[in-house]
A and B are shown apart, each in its own frame.
Chain A
Amino acid sequence: MSAITRADVEHLGRLARLNLTPEEIDNFAGQLDVILASVARISEVAAHDIPPTSHPIPVENVYREDVVRPGLLRADVAAGAPAWEDDRFRVPRILGEA
């Protein structure tokens, strides 16, 4: 379990779509390192034959019938949108190059 570098933090910021200031990168590098060091104790437990738990209560096969039900009014969704045009969500251009 290696130390978290500034480069790691920058990479995580890109993956998580989070812009970070240089101060934040420094802070987070240190804090994540401390947190990871303290949670890393879990690796002490020999658990290779233990099944992982993804759901606390074991329930299986929950389905809905393939039936159409009314959804939302477009106007209600549009009202919450940061930008809206031609009945669609307007978003900035997709590629980085101009």
Chain B
Amino acid sequence: MGDLMGHDLTRQSASTLADAISQGEVSAEEVTKAHLERIAEVDPRVHAFLYVDSDDALAAAKGVDAKRARGDRLGALAGVPLALKDILTMKGVPTTCGSKILEGWRPPYDSHVVERLRTSDIVILGKTNMDEFAMGSSTEHSAYGPTRNPWDLERIPGGSGGGSSAAIAAFEAPLAIGTDTGGSIRQPAAVTGTVGVKPTYGGVSRYGLVALASSLDQAGPCARNVLDTALLHAAIAGHDPRDSTSINAAVPDVVGAALNGDVRGMRIGLVRELSGAGYQAGVEQRFREAVELLEGLGAEVIEVSCPHFEYALGAYYLILPSEASSNLARFDGMRYGLRAGDDGSHSVEEVMAITREAGFGPEVKRRIMLGTYALSSGYYDAYYGQAQKIRTLITRDFDAAFTQVDVLISPTAPTTAFKIGEKVDDPIAMYLNDVATIPVNLAGNAAMSLPIGLAPEDGLPVGLQIIAPPMTDDRLYRVGSAVESALVDKWGQLLIEEAPAL
């Protein structure tokens, strides 16, 4: 990897930093300090972080250095800094989910993901901004103000995990954790020119992940390149008995796949329904070029049809609000978080309603009401029940497609990053950002977003979505790594290096 002396530590990949730390070329403390300095420098403009835990991060980094000095075995990413989405609990550290209703709440326990990060000796820098309770595609629905896209500070960094994608794209951290309920890892990755993976549902434990929609939520890795993403994926994935939906099987060899990018002989399906109307011209152009690239690398690309995908958005916007309306009921001001209106004159029912009025933002209220409606008696069959049947049909579409091909591809998002404020008051326009990512969550597949270039019309990043059947997450990395290598060969560097200096 060479000597990092004199290089900017924040511009390095996670694997480079981990090697350098394990070789003693640089200390984990120096690496962490460099990133904390970068955060201090650029985050006032980017606003990727809601909370930076400098003391604990430095202490953790020193702990890694001490372990190394003792000759203890270190994890593959030991000493590498990471930005954690503020939806995962971390003992004693504020966890707000981007909401006022949890302002100041410090959970008394660690999420499974945080436990795994700690045992991997990864250094957690702090908590990143997000749309309130992960409801949104722009991070504008955070109660703490929007995060800005490092490519253009007037634009959104995607959502709901815009804080995590922006932190990586702004070189504030080489790694981040996101969560993906309808595209909240992949769409932010696409619009910030970074890599993000939604693992197979159940691949990473949800214990300690504050639930939005339990049957759709999945935590996953974010980084600036495919190998770093795979290393982080391997660190957090695997069975956890505290999550009943956690898959009790060996984690696919994602790191091995990332090191062996090769699509020769692979059959790749292009989903007919995930293109056309609503897709920006530059997005479609870069996507077509990616298809040609894959063919050039030896893959066979065929078009496949998933006829029920056109109903995915409708099913999703019934299932998600329904589950969310129940999951968010517990935020009632009784046990933790905000309590409003408790002046002695109001009953418990009234205090709950006043607290929720004061603590939730408009998008959260909108979805709670939508979900309450979809589950209420007389409407259940037509809405929630029918949506769950559509879900079956979408899964069958995937099953049929995967009899013909090894992976599916599409653009990750229909457009590049839009302007802050452009869609915030138009829920339907906002929901359409997730049209290509949502089917994956409904069926539980694994999927990756990978940068494939800048749209000619606006010079903003475009993402390629790769979709694999459940528990074949390694295929994402095999394809992603091949595409990334070919593009780096073509461009001489990763796309993210082209982002303007902040």
Contact = CB atoms under 8 A, between A and B. Distances in A.
Q: Are A and B in direct contact (Cβ within 8 Å)?
A: yes
Interface of A: 1, 4, 8-9, 12-20, 24, 27-28, 31-32, 34-36, 38-45, 47, 50-57, 59, 62, 64, 72-73, 76-77, 79-83, 89, 91-96
B470 interface: yes
Contacts of A89: 334-335
B60 to A, nearest CB: 21
A55 B336 CA distance: 29
Contacts of B391: 52-53, 56
Contact of B387 (A9, A42, A64, A91): A42
A38 B370 CA distance: 13
Contact of A16 (B325, B336, B385): B325
A55 B218 CA distance: 13
B247 A52 contact: no
A59 B368 contact: no
A24 B337 CA distance: 24
Nearest to B317: A39
B338 A82 contact: yes
Q: Which bracket fits the contact residues of B?
A: 35 or more
B349 A17 contact: yes
7 contacts: A14-B353, A17-B352, A42-B387, A56-B201, A59-B248, A82-B342, A95-B347
Contact of A80 (B106, B202, B244, B318): B106
Contacts of B443: 56
A53 to B, nearest CB: 4
Interface stretch (B307-315, B408-416, B458-466, B474-482): B307-315
Contact of A18 (B216, B244, B353, B442): B353
- Looking at B335, B338, B385, B442, which has the most chain A CB atoms within 10 Å of its CB? B335
Contacts of A19: 353-354, 356-357
- Looking at B334, B373, B427, which has the most chain A CB atoms within 10 Å of its CB? B373
Contact of B392 (A28, A39, A50, A92): A50
Contact of B348 (A24, A51, A94): A94
A96 to B, nearest CB: 5
B338 to A, nearest CB: 7
